[in-house]
Structure 1
């Protein structure tokens, strides 16, 4: 009789069961009446009745190499938030209400405590966005990943009425560009961050550097939907990989240009430190990081004061002008 078992090959099913036990109640707490089944089914069901002409909007993303800092410092609580936020913030750009989220967690050897801490971060983020975590997959793959290695990705589906879709088509000359501050690097550019900052334990602003680097990606659902209840948002851009330079043009119609006054942008101290230590050109910074602007909204000039009243941390950084380049950074 062979002594070969799945466990002898490096896959511990019992650890997977422990993970489910640790997260099951918290995951169920994100569910609402639209969720039609429970954790453990082959597929997840979500009822989208009640809409006149619903359009589903989806987004998928991962955490990137920010995950490496979390693994090296054994700080896992923010990673699930990052994973959810990168997906949900993207679909928010079209005015979508997030409905449900699924996660994928891969590793070399599963540790139930680590996996649960990551998923519980997703739970926290889902609840902030009134979104249901309705499924996921945990894959233990010895030989593909080293012991201690994890990779995390997610998939979010939202809904918006067809006549309410925000796609930038209503952007015109004279409208204003308003910045919604980021919480830090979010989840982009960390390959360069890790090249410049090599000691995550060093003290920066009176605390270990990793605490600043691992601040989770900001969730913008509450802020943006507060605005949507009172004014029409002409365009929304999530400032992720490629920074303002690559993301803002995605919503600008042909023949127009987003003229951004960079001297108005409130750049976080940690990004200025990275720029200085790495001797990085300022335009390279703007083409890699969010530079303190996690999201921008384009609004009519007469709506600017409403935005500033509803969001006390928002501020104007530019305007829409005629032009062919779609974005211009003015010093």
Structure 2
């Protein structure tokens, strides 16, 4: 009818959005090679059969990519953004000793852009396929006038499950236990507000190659947890080193004791240029400093833990003095 408006004219194309669900089907199917949804993909809610668990305990996680997303969008690194989104939530699930089963995403965008959204989904599917977690669904919201045209909003949600008896129990951590750290692949997805401030105030100091190394996706630590289980090692606690660095992410695990850590020098191209502009103490509370995962284990399990996944190294021990103190080897 003449003069009447459509939803599409207002900036939202529901038919195009429905077609996109079919277009990403190949990526979704890649995440169901082993585990399967109970029912079809694309319904109002996703279902998963937990009957293979004897005493199932559901575990959940939610996270985003933070301000790193600005630099990824500027450089067209949408697949990296998708991988970061998955890793930030899946790794948190893995700290419980559970399995990451289902992942859902939220994408907020000014107008549907099939190429960019497909790149995001591909990155998610690459990581989800690697850790055997299903892309179970999500929400792509077109919000013209709310989300700027050069911005994409991202949030990820992960649902996992563990046998009650397999859950990690941080209350078992004791003085003398050993902290084993595992290398990060990059700065990961925390501390980027500070990185962006340094880049703005010191233009041209960081090369494109160095920045590219910093922007590599957050490492998935499923290889570490998988190998620990295969070796029969049950850590007393595990930590994903994100915002707050080693001190704050470890201190949430125990009370009435602490840890003295000595970490290797961070082996990341150009990172010394960044750290030269950062407060010496604050660096430990902002960046992962080359260690993205920590397992606290009994002395008898140290040797096996060091060969679980790549990059295992002894960082220190639990001590009676409260707080986590960190220093870099050789400094």
| TM-score, scaled to structure 2 | 0.92
Change in CA separation of 1:121 and 1:322 when aligned onto 2, cut-off 3 Å: same
Q: CA deviation at 1:157?
A: 0.7
CA distance in 2, matches of 1:248, 1:215: 24
1:219 aligns with 2:240: no
Aligned residue number for residue 22 of structure 1: 23
For the 8 Å contact 1:109–1:146, the answer to whether it is kept is no
Between the aligned partners of 2:74 and 2:201, the Cα distance in structure 1 is: 11
Q: Is the contact between residue 201 and residue 210 of structure 1 (CA under 8 Å) also seen in structure 2?
A: no
Distance, in Å, in 1 between the alignment partners of 2:48 and 2:265 is 41
1:147-158 counterparts in 2 under 5 A?
147-158=149-160
Task: Write the mapping of 1:205-244 to structure 2, written as runs, cut at 5 A.
Answer: 207-230=208-231, 231-244=233-246
| Partner Cα separation in structure 2 for residue 176 and residue 33 of structure 1 | 34
Higher mean C-alpha deviation, range 309-318 or range 41-50? 309-318
Q: Which residue of 2 aligns with 1:177?
A: 179
Q: Contact 1:55–1:162 (CA<8 Å) still a contact in 2?
A: yes
Q: Does the aligned pair in 1 maintain the 2:176–2:318 contact within 8 Å?
A: yes
Does the Cα contact within 8 Å between 2:57 and 2:164 map onto a contact in 1? yes
Equivalent position to 1:290, from 288, 291, 294: 288
- Alignment check: 8 A CA contact 1:240 1:247 kept: yes
Deviations 1:210-234, CA, capped at 9 Å, x for gaps = 4223200000012222112221211
Using the alignment, how far apart are the partners of 1:85 and 1:172 within structure 2? Answer: 29
The answer for the alignment partner of 1:304 in structure 2 is 302
**1:1-331 to 2 correspondence within 5 Å?**
1-31=2-32, 32=34, 34-198=36-200, 207-230=208-231, 231-252=233-254, 254-262=255-263, 264-266=264-266, 268-276=268-276, 279-323=277-321, 325-330=322-327
Unpaired runs of at least 5, structure 2:
none
CA contact (8 A) 1:173 1:321 kept: yes
SS of residue in 1 equivalent to 2:28? helix
What's the offset of the Cα at 1:295?
0.6
Distance of aligned partners of 1:161 and 1:201 in 2 relative to their CA distance in 1, 3 Å threshold: farther
Question: Shift in Å at residue 34 of structure 1?
Answer: 3.9
- Deviation, structure 1 residue 61: 0.4
How far does the alpha carbon of each residue in 1:241-291 deviate from its partner, in whole angstroms, 9 at most, with x for none? 011121011112x221121124x3535344322111xx2112111111111
Q: CA deviation at 1:134?
A: 0.8
Cα RMSD over matched residues?
Answer: 2.1
* Residue pair 1:243, 1:289 contacting (<8 A) in 2 also: yes
TM-fit CA distance, 1:197: 1.5
Change (3 A) 1:242 1:220: same
Q: Distance in 2 between matches of 1:33 and 1:257?
A: 39
In structure 2, distance between residues paired with 1:68 and 1:81: 15
